[in-house]
Chains A and B, each alone.
Chain A
Amino acid sequence: LAKTTQPISMDSYEGQEVNITCSHNNIATNDYITWYQQFPSQGPRFIIQGYKTKVTNEVASLFIPADRKSSTLSLPRVSLSDTAVYYCLAYNQGGKLIFGQGTELSVKP
């Protein structure tokens, strides 16, 4: 099971781009990198997943360098409603869905 390390907290302002980097040095060959978002008192919600290079969807982009030892979640033009905890996970087929401490993102007006 790949251990992930993220900043505990980040602050941003509305309209800015936010980049949250996750370190996963012991990622396995068949691990996928997946990010979830959690609002207070709600269950986590899937944001984006990737294996290598760049993945983009309507919510975010995920950048994964060639060595796959880290990844960066990019949130374009954040708003107050993006204030949440963001979790980075690395798992494979049959792997456990284990959440770390996550990054608490605070977006200010």
Chain B
Amino acid sequence: DSGVTQTPKHLITATGQRVTLRCSPRSGDLSVYWYQQSLDQGLQFLIQYYNGEERAKGNILERFSAQQFPDLHSELNLSSLELGDSALYFCASSIGHLGNTEAFFGQGTRLTVV
């Protein structure tokens, strides 16, 4: 158990819908990272937050947004869903800004868009 909690574990929804994925980082971790992993794309970095502020952006679509709340949990919002958004979405947390530290990953949310 990494200490990072993601909910829900599975999500099935229809095209055009909007969903929210939730991540609770390890106790004391200030950084949260979101990733998308589909079969043909590998682990794609979406976005990083540090202590409530957006710190780095990756290949995140405009239909996707995220935020980190004062209690440090984070939510990833996916809207106008398309079939191609079906993937595993991982959240990770680290104590600070990496460097000589490691990131801890949750078990992921499997999103299926039908």
Give the interface of A toward B (CB within 8 A): 30, 32, 34, 38, 41-46, 49, 51, 87, 91-102
Q: Which of A41, A94, A95 contacts B88 (CB 8 A)?
A: A41
Interface on chain A toward B: helix, strand, loop, or mixed SS? loop
Per the bound structure, the CA–CA distance linking A40 and B99 in Å amounts to 27
Shortest C-beta distance, A67 to chain B (Å), equals 20
Question: Interface size class for chain B?
Answer: 20 to 34
Q: Are B103 and A93 in contact (CB under 8 A)?
A: no
Shortest C-beta distance, A28 to chain B (Å), equals 11
Given the complex, which residues of A lie within 8 Å of B92, measured CB to CB?
A: 43-44, 97
Seed contacts A42-B108, A46-B104, A95-B99; 15 additional CB < 8 Å A-B pairs: A30-B99, A32-B98, A38-B43, A42-B105, A43-B90, A43-B107, A45-B105, A46-B103, A49-B100, A51-B100, A92-B98, A96-B48, A97-B94, A97-B103, A102-B42
A42 (CB) vs chain B CBs: closest residue = B107
Per the bound structure, the CA–CA distance linking A38 and B35 in Å amounts to 14
Q: Are A99 and B106 in contact (CB under 8 A)?
A: no
Shortest C-beta distance, B107 to chain A (Å), equals 6
Knowing A42-B108, A46-B104, the reply to whether A97 touches B42 (Cβ < 8 A) is no
Interface on chain B toward A: helix, strand, loop, or mixed SS? strand
Given the complex, which residues of B lie within 8 Å of A41, measured CB to CB?
A: 88, 108, 110
Most buried by A among B58, B99, B110: B99
Q: Which of B48, B58, B88, B102 contacts A49 (CB 8 A)?
A: B102
**Contacting residues of chain B (19-35) with chain A, CB-CB under 8 angstroms:** 33, 35
12 residue pairs from A and B, CB less than 8 Å apart: A41-B88, A42-B108, A43-B105, A44-B43, A44-B92, A49-B102, A93-B99, A93-B100, A94-B97, A94-B99, A98-B58, A99-B45
A100 (CB) vs chain B CBs: closest residue = B42
Closest 8 CB pairs of A and B: A43-B105, A93-B99, A46-B102, A99-B43, A94-B97, A43-B90, A96-B56, A93-B97
Given the complex, which residues of A lie within 8 Å of B4, measured CB to CB?
A: 43
Q: Are B105 and A44 in contact (CB under 8 A)?
A: yes
